[in-house]
Chains A and B, each alone.
Chain A
Amino acid sequence: DQQVKQNSPSLSVQEGRISILNCDYTNSMFDYFLWYKKYPAEGPTFLISISSIKDKNEDGRFTVFLNKSAKHLSLHIVPSQPGDSAVYFCAASDSQGAQKLVFGQGTRLTINP
Chain B
Amino acid sequence: NAGVMQNPRHLVRRRGQEARLRCSPMKGHSHVYWYRQLPEEGLKFMVYLQKENIIDESGMPKERFSAEFPKEGPSILRIQQVVRGDSAAYFCASSPFGGWGGYTFGSGTRLTVV
Partners in one complex: yes
Contacts A91-B43, A97-B56, A100-B58 known; list 9 others, CB within 8 Å.
Answer: A34-B101, A41-B107, A44-B91, A45-B105, A93-B100, A98-B98, A101-B43, A104-B42, A105-B42
Measured in the bound complex, the distance between the Cα atoms of B41 and A102 in whole Å is 12
**Contact B41–A105 (Cβ < 8 Å):** yes
Chain B residues near A93 (CB-CB < 8 A) = 100-101
Q: How many residues on the B side are at the interface (Cβ–Cβ under 8 A)? A: 28
Chain A residues near B93 (CB-CB < 8 A) = 43
B40 CB to closest chain A CB, in angstroms?
7
Chain A residues near B48 (CB-CB < 8 A) = 99-100
- A25 on the interface (CB 8 Å rule)? no
- A59 on the interface (CB 8 Å rule)? no
**Contact B105–A100 (Cβ < 8 Å):** no
**Contact B99–A99 (Cβ < 8 Å):** yes
Residues of A within 8 A of B (CB): 4, 6, 32, 34, 36, 41-46, 49, 89, 91, 93, 97-106
Contact with B43, one of A32, A44, A97 (Cβ below 8 angstroms): A44
Enumerate the 9 nearest inter-chain pairs by beta-carbon distance, A residue then B residue, closest first.
Answer: A43-B105, A103-B42, A98-B99, A100-B45, A103-B43, A99-B48, A105-B42, A43-B107, A101-B101
Contact with A4, one of B4, B42, B101, B104 (Cβ below 8 angstroms): B42
Measured in the bound complex, the distance between the Cα atoms of B105 and A45 in whole Å is 7
B22 CB to closest chain A CB, in angstroms?
15
Chain B residues near A41 (CB-CB < 8 A) = 107-108
Identify the interface centre among B44, B48, B100, B107: most chain A CB within 10 Å of its CB.
B100
What mask results when residues 90 to 114 of chain B are scored 1 for a CB within 8 Å of chain A, else 0? 0101000011111111111000000
